[in-house]
Every structure is written in structure tokens, then in C-alpha cells.
Amino acid sequence: MPFAAAYSSIYSFLLLCCSFQYIYLLLYQVFLHRLFLYLFLFSTSIASTASDKFGWPVFSTYTSANGLPSNNVQAITRDSRGFLWVGTASGLCRYNGRRFDKITLKDESTGWLAEQDIRKMHLDSSYNLWLLLPNEIGVVHTQTLKYHQIKKGVFTAFGAIGSGAFVVCSRDSLYVFDGQRRLKTAQAY
């Protein structure tokens, strides 16, 4: 029996220690939650006053109620003149800091209306905004706002490769265009 009594007293002691440790952890978690809450509230109050005094960035949310063609923004870039170009599932628009201007993608040579679903876009050094649409690649000149279809097809990726050249990938081919938007090479893979 002395062994059982010693065992039960050790067991009771361990339970007591575990319960103290559990209480300690609970208090510690409450303390950390309150500390983080106070720090968050303090930092947001400083940030709101600092943004007014020091011109720090203030973030805003824009939706179709503000002039976006769609709330589904898929691509965004900024040009050298400060315009923000936003590609959405329902079209392209240009933001000047106050309002969104929708750009209708209509091919200047054929007069055909292009698809408006902007998947990706890239701005090159010649003020051309390259657009990846579901069934074509096109370019908008950012100063004249004229759209020109480059190539029809289903493309997966594209990007600049230097000196004005641009590479476009489809499921089975790779196309390289020069700075004047002319096809230089096409390679099937």
C-alpha cells in the first residue's frame, strides 16, 4: 500500500502542476491577445494621424460603382505618365487618379470589336500595352488609345524579352515579335 499512496500523491502533484500550467497558459494567451489588440489600436490611430500629417499612403477600394467595368480585376500596371491601367473580366480602363475611363477594344484596321476579357497585360517601352485576351493577343497604344490585334489564337503566357521584342506562348507554339509588332519567329514545340 505505501507504493500506491506514493503513486497517488505523485499523480495528484502532477495534476496540480498541469492545472497550474494550463491556467498559466490561459492567462498568458489572454495577456497576448490584449497586448496585440492594444498595439493594433495604437498603431492604427498613429497611422491615421500620420497619413494626414505626413502624406503616407491611404488605401481605397474601388468597385464597379466607381467606374470599373467589373469587380474582377485580373491585371494592373502603371505607365510613365502616371495612369493606372486596369484589366478586368469585362474590359480595360485607365485611372487618372479621379475617375476610370473605359477603353473599348476595337481593332483599328478591321473595325471589329475585340473580346473585353483582359487576362494579362504588359507595358513596353514604346507606350504599347500588350493584352492577353482569351482568343487573341493585342496592343493598345497608351497615348492614342488605338487597339490593334496582333494574332488570333489561344495563348497561355507572354512577356518582354528585351530591346522591344516580345514573346508569346500558346499550347503548342512560341512566337517572337519585334518592337514594331511584326512576327519575327514562330516555333512549334
Q: Is the pLDDT of residue 2 over 60?
A: no
Q: Is the pLDDT of residue 181 over 90?
A: no
pTM: 0.65
Q: Is the pLDDT of residue 60 over 50?
A: yes
Mean pLDDT for 165-176 is 86
Nearest C-alpha neighbor of 74 from the set 7, 28, 131: 131
Q: Backbone phi, then psi, for 27, in 5-degree steps?
A: -65, -40
